[in-house]
Amino acid sequence: MRCPYCQNESTRVIDTSHDTRGNVRRRRVCLDCDQRFTTYERAMLSPMLIKRDGKREAFDSEKLAAGIRIACVKRPVSASAIDRMVGEVESALVGLGKPEVSSRVVGDIVMAALKELDYVAYIRYAIVYLGLDDLQSIRDEIDSLIESDGNLTALK
């Protein structure tokens, strides 16, 4: 591993731990400049996504997180909740055990998770994901959301 400070390739691992998603966190020290830094390792098991137009694209957790963050702007949703959701989506995809999955599967998983997390973020994501392009279709989605939660008097 190359030191990010001096670019020396002689480093030593001083601590290793695992997070809840199976990633490996390593604390390292450079043997030349004595600077410490952290690296993260994870297995690349995510399947390829088949997009609507038929193109294939590698699953990108950062791209997914960016889309979810946009839906959650100015909402009481923590960054850790978004990271957890992205990890759960990625775990669900890996759990399918398929080398390729439709991008629709990812969207459906995210929609279900956002519906549990924050109704406004859910509606924002649905507008883009479902292609709701007029006020009536947006209202219909909101009405179905209200109907599905009988106790809902106002959006979360």
Residue 106's domain comprises 48-148
pTM attached to this predicted model:
0.65
Give percent of the chain with pLDDT exceeding 90: 53
Same-domain pairing of 60 and 123: yes
Same-domain pairing of 140 and 66: yes
Q: Is 109 inside a domain boundary?
A: yes
Same-domain pairing of 108 and 132: yes
Return the structure tokens found at 154. Answer: 């106002």
pLDDT in tens, 30-52: 999 999 999 888 766 678 899 98
Question: Who's near 96: CB < 8 A, 6+ residues apart?
Answer: 47, 105
Give the β-pairing of 48-50 and 36-41: unpaired
Q: Bigger pLDDT: 136 or 154?
A: 136
- The confidence score (pLDDT) of residue 156 equals 45
Same-domain pairing of 37 and 64: no
Same-domain pairing of 70 and 19: no
pLDDT bracket for residue 16 (50, 70, 90): very high
pLDDT in tens, 65-112: 999 999 999 999 999 899 999 988 988 888 888 889 999 999 999 999
* Strand arrangement, sheet containing 36-41: 11-18, 24-30, 36-41
Residue 12 scores a pLDDT above 80: yes
Same-domain pairing of 81 and 101: yes
Residue 61 scores a pLDDT above 60: yes
- The confidence score (pLDDT) of residue 152 equals 58
- The confidence score (pLDDT) of residue 155 equals 46
Instruction: Give the CA-trace dihedral at 99, 63, 146, 151, to 10 degrees.
Output: 90
Q: Bigger pLDDT: 22 or 87?
A: 87
- In whole angstroms, what is the distance from residue 83 CA to residue 20 CA? 12
